[in-house]
Amino acid sequence: MMKKYFLLASFVLFGTSQAQIIRKYSNEFLNIGAGARGLAMGGAVISNQDDVYSPMWNPAGLMSIERDWQGAAMHAEYFESIAKYDYLAYAKVLETGVFGVSVVRLGIDNILNTTQLIDPEGNIDYDKITKFSQSDYAAIISYAFNPAGNTKLDVGVNAKIVYRNVGKFASGYGFGFDVGAIYKADNGWKFGGMLRDATTTVNFWSINQKELSTIVNGEEFNPAPTDKMELTMPKLNVGASKVFNINSSIYVLPEAGINVDFAKTAALVSTDFASITPYAGAEVGYQKMIFVRLGVNRFQNITDIEDLKRKVSFQPSAGIGIKYRGLTLDYAITNSGIGGSNFYSNFFSLKLDMGTFRND
């Protein structure tokens, strides 16, 4: 456990000290998603997420809320409960569309601070080890509507305010926008797309050099970064889905699509301009009360550290759900997908649909 905390501390401090103007991975906590349904389906909900969890997948999906309001909450823990992820959301139907507000937090507590472990003379003093927390927060205001009254086309917008804190070492504020759309064809197919950080999301960092740096034998370590601003580049998610009714009680809802990062990554298809990776998932529902879900996402080319051979890794996921009147409880389990690791995380989410609850 001690080793894990040292690794996390190193990651947090290194990530802060290496902040650049444009980064491949920035505000990644907003790309995790929310709602155990979408996570169980491997994120294959870009065209079919139809509730209060939509802002994290495609804000246009809020337009499927037809009556009154919905509220939701989710909690998850990563890496043997070291990292905790929470989501709260509310959506209200208005005359002209649907309004939503969401709050997200990803936090790691009790990280060991070893920046003062060695004193200026080079002596090690374990009493100087302290602890700190690293937390990422976001408040998202969403609005979805039918442009020009076209009921076949739903459009949604997210306005995001981000606050990131690395103990006493650094803090940053950011803002940005997402846009999404869902088109409903006459033959039952739905086509969805979401452009995350459409205008780029800007983070402005404030660095506490006194807390971050340490002087050993006249030499400074952990100098503050010279760049105090970072940009999160856009990401595009597109998908298509359709409901297939097996009989009067059972249906199957599959979706497939691609995720596009406008940067060179370890994705299956990667260029200097963009990287593309596929995803797929499906939901089987029984009488719209019991649900079973599967998904696969985040295909990457990685190098095995043991035999140095290239291979493809991916993130599998699965889950179940149960709905009674206006109350829905969902569960998902998914692999972290980090370097082919076997870290599995459990997600639980709850949704209250007051419009359905009052009319059942």
Domain assignment present for residue 7? The answer is: no
Question: By the 8 A CB rule, do 41 and 239 touch?
Answer: no
Model confidence pLDDT, tens digit, residues 135-180: 999 999 999 999 999 999 999 999 999 999 888 888 889 999 999 9
Position 101 confidence tier, pLDDT thresholds 50, 70, 90 = very high
pLDDT band at 12 (very low <50, low <70, confident <90, very high): very low
The answer to the question of residue 276 being in a domain is yes
**Token pair listed for 221:** 């370590």
Mapping DSSP onto H, E and C, the string for 312-350 reads: EEEEEEEEEEEEECCEEEEEEEEECCCCCCCCEEEEEEE
- CB-based contact 328:353 (threshold 8 Å): yes
Kindly state whether residue 187 falls inside one of the protein's structural domains: yes
Q: What is the pLDDT at residue 337?
A: 44
Residue 12 lies in a domain: no
Does residue 13 sit within a domain?
A: no
Total count of domains within the chain: 1
Structure tokens at 181: 């759309």
Measured distance CA(337)–CA(30) in Å, rounded: 16
Strand partners, 70: 91, 353
Per-residue DSSP letter, 356: H
Residues in Cβ contact with 300 at an 8 Å cutoff, skipping those fewer than 6 apart: 265, 266, 267, 268, 277, 312, 313, 314, 337
pLDDT score, position 7: 37
pLDDT of residue 16: 40
pLDDT tens-digit readout, 171-229: 889 999 999 999 999 999 999 999 999 988 888 888 777 766 666 555 666 666 666 78
In a domain, residue 179? The reply is yes
Domain that holds residue 115: 23-356
Token reading at 104: 């997200």
State how far the Cα of 86 lies from the Cα of 48, in Å rounded to an integer.
23
> Is residue 277 pLDDT above 60, yes or no?
yes
Give me the amino acid identity at 197. D
In a domain, residue 155? The reply is: yes
pTM of the model: 0.83
CATH number for 113: 2.40.160.60
Instruction: Tell me the average pLDDT of the chain.
Output: 84
* Residue 60, C-beta contacts closer than 8 angstroms, at least 6 positions apart: 54, 144, 154, 155, 156, 180, 181, 182, 192, 194
Measure the CA–CA gap between 315 and 300, rounded to whole angstroms.
Answer: 9
Assigned domain for 324 exists: yes
Bridge partners, 284 (sequence order): 252, 292
